[in-house]
Amino acid sequence: MPRREIFTMGDIACAEGAISAGCRYFGGYPITPATEIAEWMAVRMPEVGGAFVQYEDEIASITSALGASWAGTKAMTATSGPGASLMMESVGLAVMTETPVVIVNIMRGGPSTGQPTRGQQGDVFQAKWGSHGDYQIIGLTPASVQEMFDLTVRAFNLSERYRVPVFVLADEVVGHMREKLVIPDEKDLKLVDRKMPTVDPSDYLPFKPGDDLVPPMALLGTKYQFYATGLTHDERGYPTDSDEVQIELITRLSEKVLRHVYDIIDVEKYMLDDADIAIVAYGTPSRSARKAIKDARAEGINVGMLRLKSVWPFPEKIVSELGSQVRHIIVPEQNMGQIYYMVRAFAAPTPIHLMTKPAGTPQLPDEILQKIKEVHSL
Amino acid sequence: MTTAPATLVHPMSKYIREDRLPWIYCPGCSIGIATGMIVRAIDNIGLDFSKVVFVSGIGCSGRTSGYFKTGTFHTTHGRAIPFATGVKIANPDLEVIVVAGDGDLAAIGGNHLIHACRRNIDMTVVCINNWNYGMTGGQFGPTTEHEKLTQTSPPPIGNMEHPFNLIKLAASSGATFVARWTAVQVRRGITSIEKGIKKKGFSFIEIVGACPTAYGRMNKLGEGVDMHKHLLEVTDIQNGLPPHEAEIEYDKRIVCGEFVDIEKPEYTDVLKQMHAKVRK
Amino acid sequence: MASVRKPITPKPVRMRDKVLVMLEERCKGDQCQLCVSFCPKNVLCLTDKYNRKGYHPVTACDIDACTNCQFCELICPDMAIYLADRDEAEKVFKSHGLEEGTKIPELENDAAKEGGTD
């Protein structure tokens, strides 16, 4: 399809991004504010020959997406906080069996039922630590309609490349706002597909990693006959309760992601070159921050922003370097402080100032400007 | 003159990961029998085994998927059916078989079971009913009978709850092929599993078995042999009986047979038709 | 004549064209006993020896009574007993190609008889 420009909302941009990335399976369940993704997929999937299935609950949605992925189709699901909580066990299964899948969480007021129609950023930690056990996932945080499209395409590429579930964490404001979206020509999109095995089926070890720590992935129902399980397994896929295998497997699953942070991490540095105060933000508050920075600069304060477009794995080195570069860091979040703690861990001893607003309306530009001036005078 | 084979092998060994024998099942457990039944059904049909995918849940019955020499997947508790649904929709050419226990399918997986029946997605579900949660030590489950003793329904009270009748559940939810056999009716079970696999639609076959180590011991039902002999005695074969009459009571009467065999539009077929409609 | 009596031609004697093969290392013998109990002709019984897992494997005490009904093979939960084609089994048996723990009682009995009294 040729390049198109449309005026649409974030949720729809996300769905279009998935389709452009090659996603042909969507298992979903209606939940405010992610319902539009499911509804758009219900229209578009038949048009592109994919499958949209509305399941009985979120657990079936994510588990069926894993099944579709193993049968060879790029698959995704979309939900919000309450659904993401339900999906956590299957996230663990996806991590353990190294299944590529994309999970979109349009974050809303929480905890529990919260405020379904108001955005918040309270699920960021859950994406990383929601399931039991030690593991790494990738979490991307778009802040505009165009980024909803671009980062969803990126999410599919990363999940296929590293065989790991990727979360797209957008707050409800980004999900429901309407802006111009440019959908590039298919030919101009760079897409990544999972590595397939090339060895003879009788020599195939389903969980033997390549040099990049990612095993080539055979599909279910082909001449490669393998057993995949959520139990701790050796390279053959057979379950074992040995200590050595457990340590090796868990380490590899983490290292697989952490060793490639240079490829995964995505940040925007805005006016940071001469800044002596930095704002670290993501999602909707970063939009307010951008305006506040412009206003502050007009008043002579040297302030800039490190905008996180990926939060997991956390950009430790970049934040640490930022800490040594500036005198103060401000972290505005629409929660009680989540990424704040990560920034504090890595940018210390530089003072980190948290602006919490666990509510639907993000920090307004004036509020952030106020904080900048306060911090500037310290 | 034909050359002598290098050695003798079990006729079903080409379907089994022999490097994982002996299996983890207790001596006298019915799950091994059910595994053999499934394999023989596939052998009789003559399917391309690489196109068969097994998905299983958690529990002793869930361990069966690891023993088949084809693409198999061991999911989380109760989620075998949605996983299998995803596989089937993504690649309708595959033959998808779900093997799971009564607790896995009817308790935590109950919601998925009834919706998959309703959708009539083409897959075969073999439910091995051993009356309790065996792997975790014998707790009561959705098929444990009233007043029976288990780890979580200890004496003097026993089980306060009443069990599901899985045949009635599957049939009223819309499954197009529903059958029940005990582990002792091996040949008839094989025939029903064959029919279920060949049939395009949601097939549910319940294999009633024994758990001598947990359920059998706590309720003084004897060893594996005694429990199987008892199952043979109380079996009442009634093919074609309406499913709402297919009673099951361990002590008195277990109605076995093929109860439902109807035709309904199948999910992946309808999906293909819908695609054609939209793209015209 | 209205009815003609046809001569009775006896049907050929049915031979057992399959032999019983036991895989002793897989058998859970004395703890299981499903094949022993369900054999309609009481062919099978337990041995006294132990296999590697500590079970007494099953053997055939009355192999001549076997009718090849195959029920032992179907009811065994561990794939430890099966029927094999007689000719194939004899070839492998005579060339000593059987794997460890594989026992074919009928052929062993025949070999013992042919070997004379010990």
Q: Residue B113: which domain range?
A: 25-279
CB contacts of B70 in chain A (<8 Å) are 225
Q: For position B4, what pLDDT does the model report? A: 52
Q: Per-residue pLDDT tens for A200-222?
A: 999 999 999 999 999 999 999 99
pLDDT grade for C2, boundaries at 50, 70 and 90: low
- Whether B69 maps to a domain, the answer reads yes
Nearest to B186 among C37, C74, C99 (CB): C74
Q: Which residues are A138's β-sheet partners?
A: A166
CA pair distance B79, B91, nearest whole angstrom:
19
Beta-carbon separation of C34 and B8 below 8 A: no
Q: How many domains does chain B have?
A: 1
Helix (H, G, I), strand (E, B) or coil at B5: coil
Q: Would an 8 Å CB–CB cutoff place A227 in contact with chain B?
A: yes
Task: Say if the Cβ atoms of B74 and A55 lie within 8 Å.
Answer: no
Give me the pLDDT at residue A6, please: 96
pLDDT of B142? 96
Distance from CA of B220 to the nearest CA of C (A): 16
**pLDDT at residue B199 in the model:** 96
Does C114 have pLDDT greater than 90?
no
Residue range C111-116: average pLDDT? Answer: 74
**Nearest to residue A360, comparing CAs of A284, A279, A280, A292?**
A284
For residue A368, is pLDDT > 90? yes
pLDDT digits (tens, 9 = 90+) for A44-78: 999 999 999 999 999 999 999 999 999 999 999 99
- Neighbours of C (≥3 Cβ pairs closer than 8 A)? B
User: Do B and A touch (≥3 CB pairs < 8 Å)?
Assistant: yes
Mean pLDDT for the stretch of residues B190-201: 96
| Residues of chain A contacting residue B85, judged by C-beta atoms under 8 Å apart | 53, 60, 64, 67
- Interchain CB distance below 8 Å, B71 and A63: no
Report the residue from C21, C79, C102 with minimal CB separation from B16. Answer: C79
Q: Is the pLDDT of residue B26 over 60?
A: yes
Query: What backbone torsions phi and psi does residue A250 show, to the nearest 5 degrees?
Result: -65, -40
Give yes or no for B223 touching C (CB within 8 A). Answer: yes
Lowest model confidence (mean pLDDT) among B74-83, B186-195, C16-25: C16-25
Do the Cβ atoms of C88 and B184 come within 8 Å?
Answer: no
Nearest to B197 by CA among B70, B44, B19: B44
With a cut of 70, say whether residue A281 has pLDDT above it: yes
Predicted pLDDT at B22: 82
Q: What are the Cα distances from residue B221, in Å, to B39, B215, B227, C98?
A: 29, 8, 6, 39
Residue B174 belongs to a domain with what CATH number?
3.40.50.970
Is A69 at the interface with chain B, CB within 8 A?
yes
Chain B: closest CA distance from residue A145 (Å): 28
Average pLDDT of span A168-185: 96
| Assigned domain for B49 exists | yes
C76 contacts on B by Cβ (under 8 Å): 32-33, 36
In a domain, B15, yes or no: no
Separation CA C69–CA C65 (nearest Å)? 11
B4 within some domain: no
Where do we find the tokens 């059916």? B81
B23 touches chain C (CB under 8 A): yes
What tokens does C118 get? 């010990």
* pLDDT higher than 50, residue B56: yes
Whole-angstrom Cα distance, residue A37 to residue A16?
A: 9
* A344 band by pLDDT with thresholds 50, 70 and 90: very high
Does residue B7 lie within any of the structural domains? no
Give the mutation candidate from A23, A55, A57, A63 for the B interface (greatest B CB count, under 10 A).
Answer: A63
CB contact under 8 A, A25 and B274: no
Average confidence (pLDDT) over B240-244: 94
Q: Do B224 and C32 touch (CB under 8 A)?
A: yes
Whether residues A66 and B76 touch (CB distance < 8 A) is answered with no
Q: Minimum mean pLDDT among A170-174, B58-62, C16-20: which range?
A: C16-20
Tell me the C-alpha to C-alpha distance, in Å, between residue C25 and each of A200, B22, C44: 31, 8, 17
C108 Cβ neighbours under 8 A, 6+ residues apart: none
Residue percentage of chain B with pLDDT more than 90: 92
pLDDT digits (tens, 9 = 90+) for A188-198: 999 999 999 99
Confidence of residue B18 (pLDDT cuts 50, 70, 90): confident
Q: Residue A171: beta bridge partners?
A: A107
pLDDT of residue B1: 45
What is residue B5's predicted lDDT score, i.e. its pLDDT? 56
Portion of chain A with pLDDT greater than 90, in percent: 98
Q: Please say whether the beta carbons of A296 and A253 come within 8 A.
A: no
Per-residue tokens: A80: 């919000």
Picking from C31, C74, C91, the nearest residue to B28 by CB comes out as: C31
* CB of B101 closer than 8 Å to CB of B129: yes
Q: What is the rounded average pLDDT for all residues in chain A?
A: 95
**Distance (Å) from the alpha carbon of B129 to chain C's nearest alpha carbon:** 15
Residue among B4, B27, B186 minimizing CB distance to C28: B27
CA distance A180 to A6: 6
Please give the Cα distance from C54 to A137 (Å, whole number): 46
C32-59 pLDDT tens trace: 999 999 999 999 999 999 999 999 999 9
Give, in degrees to the nearest 5, the angle at Cα B235 between B230 and B237: 165
CA distances from C78 to A225, B22, B23, B255 (A): 22, 7, 7, 27
Say what the pLDDT of residue A1 is.
Answer: 81
What pLDDT does B39 receive? 96
Provide ipTM, 2 decimals. Answer: 0.92
Please write the tens of the pLDDT for every residue from C47-99. Answer: 999 999 999 999 999 999 999 999 999 999 999 999 999 988 989 988 888 88
Amino acid C118: pLDDT: 41
Domains, chain C, ranges and CATH? 18-114 (3.30.70.20)
- How far off is chain B from A54, nearest CA to CA, in Å? 11
Chain A and chain C touch, per 3+ beta carbon pairs within 8 A: no
Could you tell me the pLDDT band of residue B44, with boundaries at 50, 70 and 90? Answer: very high
- CA A248 centroid distance within chain: 26
B120 lies in some domain:
yes
pLDDT at B76 over 50: yes
Please tell me which of the candidates C38, C55, C102 has its beta carbon nearest to residue B8: C102
Which residue in B7, B10, B43 has the most chain C C-beta atoms within 10 A of its own C-beta, making it the best mutation to test that interface? Answer: B10
Q: Count Cβ–Cβ pairs < 8 Å, chain A vs chain B.
A: 140
Q: Is residue B184 part of a domain?
A: yes
Q: In angstroms, what separates the C-alpha of B162 from chain A's closest C-alpha? A: 25
Which residues are B258's β-sheet partners?
A: B179
Residues 6 or more apart whose Cβ sits within 8 Å of residue A39: A30
Average pLDDT, integer, range A219-238: 93
B4 and C95 within 8 Å at the Cβ level: the answer is: yes
Query: What is the percent of chain B where pLDDT is above 70?
Result: 98
Residue B1 included in any domain:
no
CA distance C8 to chain B (A): 35
For residue range A99-128, list pLDDT tens digits in order.
Answer: 999 999 999 998 999 999 999 999 999 999
- The answer, yes or no, to whether residue B3 has pLDDT greater than 60, is no
Please give the domain boundaries of chain A with CATH numbers for all domains.
4-188 (3.40.50.970), 269-376 (3.40.50.920)
Torsion over CA: B62, B66, B70, B72 (sign):
positive
Is the predicted pLDDT of residue B12 greater than 90, yes or no?
yes
